[in-house]
């Protein structure tokens, strides 16, 4: 049960950070619209949280080694972690000017990803800097690509 909960939370948090930041940065660079970015975050919080939870559910079922309760624990933990954490990105969007809110969100999300990576590395007896570096690099690549895609799309819609 503990492993199922850890799986759901780790997957949900990681997915919330990468997906939400990627979407926010892409939408911001493409539209510079607070309402569009906010709508994107809410869409991620709902649709992608359900999608990720179903993905974990099917993945855990396909292993054919987990109990019904373990599978549902991972499913619910994934949904709740993704849903609730994705919603935290609405706070800076609602309270701050959009460009500053994006920066605050990037710092917030990458800090959570770094902390999660650190805790995982320590628990596995690995060098934290390697795990953190790998995960942060992947996050930055996603953010960079989505920024470029947003810029590219905006050239066609203006």
Average pLDDT over residues 77-82: 95
Residue 1 scores a pLDDT above 70: no
Q: Name residue, tokens 């919080």.
A: 45
DSSP letters spanning 53-81 = HHHHHHHHHHHT-S-HHHHHHHHHHHHHH
Q: Contact at 8 Å (CB) between 82 and 45? A: yes
- Which pLDDT score is estimated for 44? 95
What are 131-141's pLDDT values in tens digits?
A: 999 999 999 99
Residue 54 scores a pLDDT above 60: yes
Q: Which residues of 120-137 are buried (b: 16+ CB within 10 A; e: fewer)?
A: bbeeeeeeeeebbeebee
What are 5-43's pLDDT values in tens digits?
A: 888 899 999 999 999 999 999 999 999 999 999 999 999
User: Cα-flanking dihedrals φ and ψ of residue 67, to 5°?
Assistant: -80, 165
156 pLDDT band (50/70/90 cuts)? confident
Residue from 82, 24, 26 nearest 53 by CA: 82
Structural domain boundaries in the chain: 2-156
């Amino acid at each position: 049960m503990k492993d199922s909960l850890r799986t759901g939370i780790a997957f949900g948090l990681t997915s919330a950070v990468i997906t939400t930041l990627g979407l926010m940065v892409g939408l911001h660079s493409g539209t510079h619209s607070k309402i569009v970015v906010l709508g994107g975050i809410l869409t991620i919080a709902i649709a992608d949280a359900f999608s990720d939870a179903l993905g974990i559910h099917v993945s855990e079922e396909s292993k054919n080694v987990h109990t019904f309760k373990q599978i549902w624990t991972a499913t619910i933990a994934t949904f709740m972690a993704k849903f609730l954490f994705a919603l935290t990105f609405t706070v800076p969007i609602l309270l701050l000017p959009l460009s500053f809110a994006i920066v605050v969100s990037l710092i917030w999300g990458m800090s959570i990803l770094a902390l999660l990576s650190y805790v995982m590395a320590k628990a596995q007896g690995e060098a934290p800097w390697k795990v953190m570096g790998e995960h942060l690099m992947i996050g930055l690549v996603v953010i960079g690509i989505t920024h470029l895609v947003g810029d590219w799309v905006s050239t066609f819609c203006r």
